[in-house]
A and B are shown apart, each in its own frame.
Chain A
Amino acid sequence: MIRTTLAALMSYWRRNLLQLITLLAGIALATALWSGVQAVNAEARASYDAAAATLGEGRFDHLRAADGGSIDQETFVALRRAGWLVSPIVEGRINGVRVIGLDALTAPIGIAPVSLTEQADLGAFLSGGGQIFGRPDALAALEGTVEAELIADPNIAPQTLTTDLVFAQELLGREGEIDRLLIATVQPKQQATLAEIAPNLTRISAQSGSDIGRLTDSFHLNLTAFGFLSFAVGFFIVHSAIGLAFEQRRPMIRTIRALGVPLNILLALMMVELILFALIAGVAGVILGYFIASALLPDVAATLQGLYGANVSGTLAFRASWWATGLLIALGGTTIASVSAFLKLAKMPLLAGGQIRAHVMVAGRRAAVLAILAAACAVLAVILAATADGLVSGFALLASVLIGAALALPLILDQMLRASQSLSSGAKAQWFWADTRQQLPGLSLALMALLLAMAANVGVSTMVSSFRLTFVDFLDQRLASELYLTVEEDRAKEITGYLEPRVDAILPIVSAEAQIKGVETEVFGARVHSTQRDNWTFLDAMADPWDQVAGGAGILLNEQLARRTDTWPGAIVALGGQSFEVVGVYGDYGNPIGQAIVSEEVFAELYPEEIANNFGLRISVDQVDDLLSDLETQFGISSENVINQAEIKAFSLQVFERTFTVTAALNVLTLAVAGFAILMSLLTLAAMRVPQLAPVWAVGITRRSLGQLELLRALILAFFTILIAVPLGIVLAWVLLAVVNVAAFGWKLPLFLFPADYLQLAILSLLAAALAAFWPALKLTRLRPAELLKVFANER
């Protein structure tokens, strides 16, 4: 019985291949977009973890030479003798690959490859000609050039090789030199101060190093949101395909039940059937996702590298966890998409009407339920918009806005079509609008998919473009000086004395760690100058904030600190035993910690031991090159110690272009998925259309004309949907920028609108709808009269 029933159920798909393809493609595309984006995220995060493990970055404080040069072996030995648990690191590049030499005996636990006891032979590692660890692509750069054993290890950071310190020094031609000293977390209680043993070294804390994971979380969160929306679009296709298939199989199910197959067995077999489809499509989806991720990853890697200095592998490793999560998401999505269809089937009485209850016959009661649910989502969204202050409530707001809009779409479209119908005149136009309204239930799921795809694109484009504008403004603000110079503390006075007559202004950059309202804060002393007055913008400020800072009574806070301590302009804060009035709050994007700015004089009073060795130099652009060469000639200051603002800005913009490549690729993919949903809905509805169109054809509208009207109908429905999708996308962007971002990272991004981009997206969406409608319309124009005549035959 089970085999026969299963064969009968499957026979439906054999005879309705298009529906099967829709279903499988829907699941596969949804899974592919989700797992592709997740793969990019996972790969990037794995790269950070490997980087942290390899370099100890973000985990251990380290010592560097204050002048940026190398540390000699004697200083290391002196520190060890004085009880400092430090471990030497040397770094360099060979054939473009970063080579890191470390001392296995003194390295803190957890620094690869010392912890990899399965592969690492400590003896060989220490022998000087022993082992070099790295990813295969990085090892390939050394092949044939060294005699050491090359060991492939995926846990090493991308484009990085690790080996013994002495061997690395030899390889790099830097015998006896050390670049930095990692400081073990636990140190002896009594040890001489750093100033006594190695005054030329500067301690750099783990926090102020690159906590890559936190800085890039915003980027990944946004990608995840995009992946989720793409999945939702795919989910609508699956829901639509399952719903239609179940509706069309009702007579068959009734017959099978009447012939003696119990309902529970039938339901179980249909579940097995769907699980099978979900697994097949899920596997295809994961593979497709891998290709999507492979295509996106080089750009994402470049973006992250440029934005945050995060080194991400540009190639993708196939991870077992993707299979698991990809298949789970396919199964989970299919299950959710089919719940309502199964419930309906379970409740269907055996003697229910056998005729096909197509979507076009959906009762008014369902519209009422949709309206109630949409209204409930809208109320929830309004409440959450006013109260949401966490990540969960932010995403709940996002979900309620999107689900509410999707549910309301058929009702809004119906009203729009009703209005168009009342404005139209002539029998053909009247019929066209009435017929379009009749098609709406059958197309509503595909249109919901288009709505979500378009809204996601508008939302994410708005967010990324807003991010770019804000970030460029932020760079203008923070990198207002033409040059940034780092010098040794003891030479600072001499060099600034030399620079004073040659530049327009010297702006020292000096900071100290402090606590404001119990929050860890980096306090800066600023020399107030027109540079800040002209370039800095504030999220909230009193009148003339810089004058008040210069006067000594005012303090500026970054947004993170202001939000965390709920301290805004007008409030008084204590710092170093003194009270300051908060006169302004500024955006400080990407910075995970609190920051405050007081005047240079106040700072010197509070932290007399802190001496500036970083300076911003204001100088006319045409004098930059001359000054750079003067600095090199006079003080031996190399270009590594000078940052040219123009180059950074140019590079940043280039990075954003890469970001746009990723976003644009995802935009095209989601719109393609939505277009696919429309195509499949139109094709599956095409068979049901014949009885509706035959009478119109019979009274004198040609097949060609009917085909053209089908195309027009799809375009009008897509256009109306786009009219709703654009504002929805802007709301989506607002939720991401002003609610989710604040909850996740403590800073809010301003929202900008980009009408030209929206117009471009709208044209792209209309094009997708037109392409989707073209084939069904063409099929209609080529429909044989005999097919249309069958409608009027008794024995149909």
Chain B
Amino acid sequence: MKKIVILIIVFFSYYAAAAQGLVSIQLENATVNELFEVIEQQAGCRIYSDPEDIEDIRVTLSRENETPLKVLERAFEGTNLKITPYNNILFVAQSRRLVASLPLIFKKKEDKGAEEDSIFVAYDVSRFLLQDDDKKQKLISETKVYEIGNARKKRSGMVTLSGNITNYRSEEPMAGLSLHLNNSTSVVTSDANGFYSIRIPTGRQELNVKGYNLKDTKIQLMVYENGVLNFGVEEVMQALTEATISAERIANVRSTTMGLERVKMQDIKNIPTLFGEVDVIKVVLSLPGVKSVGEMSSGFNVRGGATDQNLILFNDGTIYNPSHLFGVFSAFNPDVINSMELYKSSIPAKYGGRISSVLDISEKEGNKDKVGGSASVGLLTSRVTLDGPIVKGKTSFIVGGRTTYSDWMLKRLPEKSGYKDGSAEFFDLNAGVSHKFDERNSLQVNGYYSYDRFSFTDKQKYSYRNTNVSAKWRRIFSEELMGSFTGGYDHYDYSTKDTEIAYRAYSLDFAINQGFGKLDFLWKAADKHTLDFGLSSIYYSLNPGEYLPYGDESVARADKTQREKALESALYINDTWDISDKLSVSLGIRYSIFNVIGSRTYNTYNPDYLPSLLTITDTKTGSGIFKTYHGPELRGSIRYAFTDDFSVKAGVNTMRQNIHKISNTTVMSPTDTWKLSDANIKPQTGMQVAAGLYKNFFDNLVETSVEGYYKTMDNFLDYKSGAELTMNHHLETDVLPMTGRAYGVELMVKKTRGKLSGWISYTYSKTELKQDDDRAADPINRGVWYPADFDRPRDFKFVGNYKLTHRFSVSVNCDYTTGRPITLPISKYIYQNGQYVYYSDRNAYRVRDYFRMDVSFNIEPGHRLTKLTHSSLSFGVYNVTGRKNPYSVYYVTENGNLKGYQLAIFGVPIPYVAYNLKF
């Protein structure tokens, strides 16, 4: 939204040699923008101007081999436009805008700087410089030496520098920027709140700041003692945001973290999507190592994990159903999302509770400066977002809403999908307030509500809701210690009403309630040690099912399962130890304790047999904490950097999970319910070891990586055929513990800047399951390893964006994967006067390979900064080749014979148009 550039640039009175390249140009009555484009292309420089100034000017010009400055001077002869070069940049502005005064940033130290003899001239290209600038973070200057601490208190050795980085204009925190010193391979990354803390030696230092949409910035420091440096940075003018995904150009090589994918929303909006809906989950699916069963499935599988093994956090709250409309869209409004992080491998010790991955999504903070917003009209949904200050510079708000009109699309689904005759609606609402008490204390309160309703007929209705509220107080205790305190409440419920047959009419309700609190600290304990530590607690209260008669005629038997309560607590500590510039180790331990809380009754079973109603030995009543599972989770990683841009890493982590999805389908379905570990159901455990090579090329322009992993999963649940999944008072009799293993290699090449940006990845991976409990009478596939439903070994992904001009770009998205495994009937027979089938071993066959290519064209308007609104248009085609990728295979009896069909959900090219408006 805030891609508007503001430049307050300070430069020396002597002009640096401007652009090096020479320009040959021939123009007839051209616009100034055309002129600029030619010069920029030939000379490799950048030209900035105020569009208002150049709007009406037409240029006719013919020059040979001249410097850009000369060309421009010639071009603007007779106008009042002045050209001012600065390094490799040329500013074109009316001469009255040349301000011969010191900019605000230097007021305090104007005569104490290192370059005392420099004469500063402020060049105000912008008419947007705010007068009440004192409240704002200062824009960092590259030419200024910042003094940290008092020279008289000068210490030697290492000190801590910390502070907040904000977007200079919007004052939004800048997350995910990497900071590192020259000549050092250790790097720190600003967190979601823009906070950073780095250990640096005293003396003259050069700190590099890099990030998305940010020109690599060098900050000159004179360090005497511990200190705070808060600063603002400018996002670089980019007419079109690139489809880049990671800011971690250097961090990918230098941090000890492996398998982290960081995505900033504004960077992905050009990725072509189904129906033009920007969708975080679909972006997650375009990352290596992430797979799904099919296009209409809302869950995703990370490195062989099941769909319920991903912890999905939205502003620290847990989201149990991340989808709208059976998985067509994700439940997150893209306009309110700031960024998201997907941890596939090294899961930081502060996260726990799921064994496969963590997807941490954070909401934007409202603009503390002025009111803005955005609106979007799509084929299926519309959404609007508004943000702005409540108290200027201190308190801001953001609200967003989204709704749908998607019934028409359901009509186009195949009969077999079961939704063809249905109707559906959904909406979601977001609200957030952030307040900054002072430089050291800030508070953020967020709320989220999503609602989905659908029906197959007017007599069968389904609905589900996510509700989350959370508050987070962040405090900087000192330069070395920072903490955050988070509390919140999450709710998920699901409800069915079936009035098809009056006397059997019923309602079925399910709900998860959880309250949570967390304390997280970051402590720069010593020169080479950074400690993360904290504790967290979640109190669960589940209503596993309430089945009630509905209507007067109904004789349905009211049935209520026992409420499940539990307390899941964890303590963690992690030390990141920079042994040397080259070698860094991160070691953490998380101890998790799960208390099952009564009172409720439960059965005990003969341990020699699988639990069943025939092997019950006793029925007990547990009260208070009647069962506890606890254990350590290990998180460790190590990194050795051979050079600045080449490193190897290895890591290991173990995880525990105490909440299990109850579903006998392979995908996440809207009617899934969840179950806590209890006296009979043990926690799932997972272990992953991974290693990788990371190498950047061309000054970090191209990043490459190879990561391999091996993963095991234990005690996760599969269901006996015919298992009763709802209203089951003794679920342990219908489940079977499974063992899983997954391994693979992920190759990735990523280009984050330039005209062409994007990534290519190739993954080879296997995911296999085994039912090896000796007590199982008839184990799946006789107890041998078999491929999981999402075992799709070969996987090629390409996401690219090519900027044709500043305003037009083309994005292409390709996805090739091996077809999903399926269980096919291999023979048929007549039984009870009907035809039935006999199945092969589970997942013994595969559907055809999956291939899809999407294309989009994105048009941004000119940068008329004065315009009140800013709109963009994108149109594209989903599944350009129209390949009929099979989602499933099924058999129906036709004329007495079984006939097989395959169902492709989106089997033709689907064009779309999306219009976005920002104000």
Our verdict on whether A and B bind, yes or no, reads no
* A residues apposed to B, CB below 8 Å: none
